[in-house]
Amino acid sequence: MEKPPRVGDRVVVPFGIRDVEGEVFRVEGKARTWVTVELFLDGGEEPTLMTYLLREVRPAEAA
């Protein structure tokens, strides 16, 4: 991903041995951009927050 995503954007990130879709929660950093993504895993009610380097994040496909 070249430009940082914006809060609320849908993205795909690595999670274990698979890729999962989530929503951007926070973007921060200057020299290295970090993206915090909100993930809803296995139908859970509470989201999981994970932080990734910008290079690990890619836009989700439009439905």
- List of residues 6+ apart from 3 with CB closer than 8 A: none
Task: Kindly report, residue by residue over 6-61, the tens digit of the pLDDT.
Answer: 999 999 999 999 999 999 999 999 889 999 999 988 777 889 999 999 999 999 98
Q: Identify whether 54 is part of a domain.
A: no
> Does 5 reside within a domain?
yes
Q: Strand 58-59 and strand 48-53: pairing?
A: unpaired
Number of domains in the chain: 1
**Residue 6 covered by a domain:** yes
pLDDT of residue 5: 94
Domain hosting 1: range is 1-20+31-47+59-63
Asked, for residue 38, whether it belongs to a domain, the answer is yes
Does the residue 10 lie in any domain?
A: yes
pLDDT the model gives residue 45: 81
Does the pTM exceed 0.85?
yes
| Domain membership flag for residue 8 | yes
